[in-house]
Amino acid sequence: MNFDKYKLYTESVQSPEVDAQFFDQYYRMYNGQEALVLKEDFCGTFLNSIEWIKRGAFKKAICVDLDPEPIAYSRANYLSQLQPSQVERIQIFERDVLKKSEEKVDVIAALNFSTFIFKERKKLKKYLKRSLKTLNPKGLFFMDCFGGMATQEPLEEETEHKEFSYFWDQDSFDPVSHNAQFYIHFKPNGEKKIKKVFSYNWRMWTLPELKDLMIEVGFHDVHILWEGSGPNGEGNGQFARAEKGEVCEAWVAYVVGQRPPD
């Protein structure tokens, strides 16, 4: 198997079509109108943006990531597959999300726990303030968050795919700082395991911390979207507004806030 880490990553942890549809529909349900511009922060291979612009001829996307590697990969492998009229609706910036920007957008998505990169409250606050300024009035900010008892102990979980296995490795967790080290490994069928293909050193922020910080910087109606569960007790991929969650080993949720209408 030709080892392509971004292809394996996407197959293992991303659902860009589902995510783009979710943000689009949630905005319409919340504001009663269509969102046109998505900003995908920490965009990596910016697949959510690619799915977003496919959802309508007036939709645009702004993608920001520090790392030139996933951006170059996506330009070569995904952007090249789009029509010119689609490509011109995607703007890609290789820069720090903390840098000032001039764009105005309807939705900001910070996904795959990327805000956990900011370990200091001051930095996360700066990012949230910038995001609030970047949103149009009524614009929505979404970030995902995960937690639960099983996410705070060393463990390695294997998920088998058709041509490879994906490993989520929780290497360490420090209860004092809430800093944690995670790795992603892959094992193509019939080949050796390729270790530490992706590495994440994160602060495990809690939902109330994130919610409080968003309120503090001025977001309106900050709320949590909690995942429902299927018959086997596992998450069913359906997220709904919740004031309370259930205790579970591991959970994923979204924190959402609106830029107040003018």
Contacts with ligand SAM by CB under 6 A lie at 14, 42-44, 64-67, 70, 96-98, 111-112, 114, 117
Which of left, alpha, beta for 135 (phi over 0: left; psi -120 to 50: alpha)?
beta
Q: Is 168 helix (H, G, I), strand (E, B) or coil?
A: strand
Rounded to a whole number of angstroms, the minimum distance from the CB of residue 80 to ligand SAM is 19
Token readout for 158 is 């294997």
CB 78, min distance to ligand SAM, A: 13
Q: Tell which residue, 48, 64, 123, 60, has the closest CA to residue 89.
A: 60
Tell which residue, 220, 207, 187, has the closest CA to residue 251: 207
**Alpha carbons 183 and 33: distance in angstroms, whole number:** 40
Q: Which among 36, 192, 39, 19 is positioned nearest to 109, based on CA atoms?
A: 39
Question: What tokens were used for 217?
Answer: 């910087």
> Closest separation between CB of residue 112 and ligand SAM, Å?
3
DSSP 81-106: GS-HHHHTTEEEEES-TTS-----EE
Which of 66/250 has CB closer to ligand SAM?
66
CB 8 → ligand SAM: shortest distance, Å?
12
The residue among 65 and 106 lying less far from ligand SAM, judged by its C-beta, is 65
Residue number of the CB atom closest to ligand SAM? 44
Q: Is 10 or 152 the residue whose CB approaches ligand SAM more closely?
A: 10
Residue 62: phi and psi, rounded to 5, are: -120, 125
The two tokens of residue 181 are 């080290």
Nearest of 40, 36, 38, 39 to residue 59 by alpha carbon: 36
Please say which residue, 35 or 110, places its beta carbon nearer to ligand SAM. 110
Nearest distance from C-beta of residue 40 to ligand SAM, angstroms? 7
Nearer to ligand SAM, 96 or 216 (CB): 96
Q: Which is nearer to ligand SAM, 11 or 220 (CB)?
A: 11
- Shortest distance (Å) from residue 64 CB to ligand SAM: 6
Structure tokens at 95: 């820069």
d(CA 177, CA 185): 25
Nearer to ligand SAM, 117 or 207 (CB): 117
Cβ of residue 109: shortest distance to ligand SAM, in angstroms? 8
